[in-house]
Structure 1
Amino acid sequence: MTTTSRPSTEKILDELGLISLWTTGPDSWLVLISRTTRMFAYGSNGIFIALFFSALGFSDFRIGAFMTLTLAGDVVLTIVLTLVADKIGRRNILLFGSVMMILSGLIFIYFENYWILLLASVVGIISATGGDFGPFRAIEESVLSHTTSKSSKTRSDVLSWYVVTSALGSAIGTELSGRMVNWLSSKEGWNDVRAYHTMFWLYVINGTVGAMCIYLMSDKTEVSTKTPNDKALEEGQAEETEGLLGLEADGAAREDISPVDRIPLSNVSASSPPPDSAPKSEKGPPVTGWKSKLAQISRPTRRIMYKLWFLLAVDSLADGMVGYALTTYYLAQKFGLSTGTLGDITSISYFLAAISSIAAGPLANHLGLINTMVFTHIPSSAAVLLFPAPSSLVMTIILFFVRTGLNNMDQAPRAAFIAAVVPTDELTAVNGITSMLRTLASTTGPTITGWLSGGDRFWIAFVAAGSLRLAYDFGLWALFVDMKVNPHGEN
């Protein structure tokens, strides 16, 4: 019985991606811990930040403008920090971000002036929506893709747990925050504003924990450190003359690649081998500034990413219009819910997101990356579209659970997809531009929603956002379902 149960247990652990996570080593674990504590902080303040500004007497327009300008600050930070991350060190950039996160939290503890808080958010690290739109994620995903094996299954498994643990952090932070705000505001001599100020200490504490994790990471996280798989891949590249993908702009088969050597990306599972890097000659001459960042990316990679970047911008615009902070604000307005109740609802939704994200890795291994991204995201998008329709709280909460519970399942497959088609030395630049474009698209969302929220028009934002999200889903399917790769590399 022991003999049969051991392989079965090992198979289950492997299917869940836990073996891949264990074998990647301490650096990957530290990245996950840092990300989890950061999302704990984001979740703890994301639920009440709009209510915090409302309690300070700021108008809905100012609240929307605050979120937009905060996201704009994230865009600038992402551009600047990811541009220099591989030059001055990924850990140095992550450590700088943690310090800025701590300073921003301290300012929110001690100040109530709108312009001071806005400045702290724009130049610092404050999550105005509860999401992670700053420079951290782009660099962390590059670190994980660099430190994991070149096996796409291992990378997909680790990235799945990167999403799972962050969702758990958000869930716990949200639940704790809602309960603590209710408890503190009910104490004698306390009010909601004072309780909100106190909660930003969680931001400071978690920023400190994240900084400690970054300090403990090894040199293996830096791009200059070559793993054995990196070296093997470079040796293989010396014999290769093909680019990253055997794909023309219209998706037609190239004459110099046999159809036998091409497989559809819609059917590529997380265990499929990654493609080769593009030849260095296609990257063009060295230039400086923003063009230098784009010049780090080869033409075959850009042909893919231009299409994906456009779709991600559409999706991010929709998410910015109805971010979780604005959604909880909408629920509070429509149903008069307390902060504690909002915390319970949001926390449950994050736990559902964590549970569903565990399944993202196995689904990607069996269904393929593109199939997993599209089929799990469509129900979530439909829930956003229908969110304002019910008049009952129960139906509204069910739609919220469907949206949030399935919303994260495309994240790990998307990161694995990008890592599979982008060479290691281009990945930080690609992730930086991806994060920047997504954040930039999100910046206009809260302002649009803030304008729509006047009178009885808040519901329009959800209808528009749901439609945009569905357009992203179907566009992703149409553009990438038949994409083919020229698979070279190891198993």
Structure 2
Amino acid sequence: MEPTETLAAPPRRSNALIALFSARALRDFGDGFVAVLLPSYLIRLGFSTAAIGILAGVALLGSATLALGAGFLGGRFDYRRLLLASAFLMAATGSALAAFDAYAVLLAIAFIGTVNPSGGSASAIVPIEHAVVAREANAADRTRAFARYSLVGALAGSVGALASGAPDLLKWTGLSELGAMRAMFALYAVLGLGGALFYARVPARPPVAAEKGAAALGLSRGIVYRLAALFSLDAFAGGFVVQSLLALWLFQKFDLSLAAAGVFFFLSGILSAFSFPVAARLADRFGLINTMVFTHIPSSLCLIGAAFASSLNVTLALLLIRAALSQMDVPTRSSYVMAVVTEPERPAAASFTSVPRSLAASLSPGLAGALFAAGGGAAPLVLCGALKIAYDLLLLRQFRALKAPEEG
């Protein structure tokens, strides 16, 4: 199977990428503060840690369902329409979070809307954004384009995490603590509308699959299914330590304040963000798969170490080292998937490798919440690290020999 893209692809359409990156920045900024605020908000509403874990799992399950739909529709509809629909859904989600606080309603919002306890990388619209990035960048620059895409999202998400401390400042205006949090959810809605303005600047083009009469997945089906199975293991592991649950663990074990948590997740996001360009350079030298695996394993060891650390400073230091390493597989993974499939298959490939991830990740937050509630302490962190190491070793064994076209 030979991908249709060659190194002599047309020049990049930088304006479309700038618009896409700008929209992602707004989306990830909103996801960044919602992921940290949401557990604190739910605690103040009186919900248990188990209930919070279930809601996080429902949110990931909803994202998986939406992403699956985006993957099927991506080959049949113009990408811009789907991007605009996601932005308006984000606006509706923020408005609903600001207006309702009944648990059943919040569960419905989590499933139908864009509530994202894992940050922007788990968004349902990511498969379509990946297809746009791969379409607008040539093969030689694809990994760097994904690194920039991930960098923008991570920086915006880290600033969003820092902004999660804003309710403490808004209380000085006379708002109650809950009122200040609801104001932040209203801001999330406004960011969705802002994202729509940028998505509107992505060029409208006929769907490639519709033009060529191609199936959603053709020659690359076997490769995609194998990757999806492995990525699901990684995502199931990551679901034990989604950002909202990691914040909850730090709140409970070390009595960390909301403002301090915001600073920590800001620093984590900054370290993750600047690891993306480094990952692109490493991939140029060592290959995409090697970069994914040999940066991921040390990060998992740091997470396991943090689980057993008794000092807050040591725990945060290990988690920050993890943050500097754990996300290097994000741009390399995205680039690899787009490289080993044909162009018409890209939306479906991005969806079929992300949907099982979201489904698998939706199972573990509820388990992690139950472990926390049962006094399981740091067990979710240990489970996460051990399962991720197993994933890395399996990925290396199965795909080291299958290289992207530009790797020769």
Same fold (TM over 0.5): yes
How far, CA to CA, are the matches of 2:206 and 2:191 in structure 1?
22
Q: Could you state the TM-score of these two structures normalised by the residue count of structure 1?
A: 0.77
Alignment of 1:218 onto 2:199: no
Q: What CA RMSD, in Å, does the superposition of the two structures yield over aligned residues?
A: 2.3
Corresponding residue of 1:307: 226
Specify which of 384, 389, 392 is matched with residue 473 of structure 1: 392
Alignment of 1:343 onto 2:332: no
CA radius of gyration, larger in: 1
SS in structure 2 of the partner of residue 296 of structure 1: coil
Corresponding residue of 2:28: 39
Corresponding residue of 1:420: 339
Corresponding residue of 1:104: 93
**Matching of residues 336-415 of structure 1 within 5 Å:** 336-415=255-334
CA deviations on 1:211-265 (whole Å, 9 max, x unpaired) are 0011121125853799xxxxxxx9xxxxxxxxxxxxxxxxxxxxxxxxxxxxxxx
The question of whether the paired residues in 2 share the 8 Å contact of 1:163 and 1:408 is answered with no
Q: Using a 3 Å threshold, how does the CA distance of structure 1 residues 209 and 85 change in structure 2: closer, same or farther?
A: same
The question of whether the paired residues in 2 share the 8 Å contact of 1:317 and 1:444 is answered with yes
Alignment of 1:158 onto 2:145: yes
Unpaired runs of at least 5, structure 1? 1-19, 227-233, 235-279, 284-294
**Matching of residues 25-36 of structure 1 within 5 Å:** 25-36=14-25
Q: Tell me by how many angstroms 1:74 deviates.
A: 1.2
Corresponding residue of 1:121: 110
Could you tell me which amino acid in structure 2 is paired with residue 445 of structure 1? S
How far, CA to CA, are the matches of 1:221 and 1:320 in structure 2?
36
Identity in percent:
30
Q: Tell me by how many angstroms 1:72 deviates.
A: 1.3
**Matching of residues 164-243 of structure 1 within 5 Å:** 164-178=151-165, 180-185=166-171, 187=172, 189-220=174-205, 222-223=207-208
Q: Could you state the TM-score of these two structures normalised by the residue count of structure 2?
A: 0.92
SS in structure 1 of the partner of residue 22 of structure 2: helix
Q: Using a 3 Å threshold, how does the CA distance of structure 1 residues 40 and 222 change in structure 2: closer, same or farther?
A: farther
Corresponding residue of 1:298: 218
Q: Using a 3 Å threshold, how does the CA distance of structure 1 residues 104 and 416 change in structure 2: closer, same or farther?
A: same
Specify which of 48, 67, 70 is matched with residue 81 of structure 1: 70
CA deviations on 1:79-117 (whole Å, 9 max, x unpaired) are 223211231221111111111110110011121111112
CA deviations on 1:332-385 (whole Å, 9 max, x unpaired) are 111111111100111011011111112111111111111111111111111222
How far, CA to CA, are the matches of 1:198 and 1:335 in structure 2?
28
Going by fraction, where is helix more abundant, 1 or 2? 2
Specify which of 51, 55, 61 is matched with residue 44 of structure 2: 55
How far, CA to CA, are the matches of 2:377 and 2:126 in structure 1?
30
The question of whether the paired residues in 2 share the 8 Å contact of 1:44 and 1:202 is answered with no
The question of whether the paired residues in 1 share the 8 Å contact of 2:62 and 2:112 is answered with yes
Q: Using a 3 Å threshold, how does the CA distance of structure 1 residues 148 and 188 change in structure 2: closer, same or farther?
A: closer
The question of whether the paired residues in 2 share the 8 Å contact of 1:181 and 1:340 is answered with no
Q: Using a 3 Å threshold, how does the CA distance of structure 1 residues 68 and 490 change in structure 2: closer, same or farther?
A: closer
Corresponding residue of 1:148: 137
Specify which of 434, 443, 453 is matched with residue 353 of structure 2: 434
Aligned length: 399
Could you tell me which amino acid in structure 1 is paired with residue 199 of structure 2? I
How far, CA to CA, are the matches of 1:385 and 1:48 in structure 2?
25
Could you tell me which amino acid in structure 2 is paired with residue 206 of structure 1? L
Q: Tell me by how many angstroms 1:208 deviates.
A: 1.1
Q: Tell me by how many angstroms 1:191 deviates.
A: 3.5
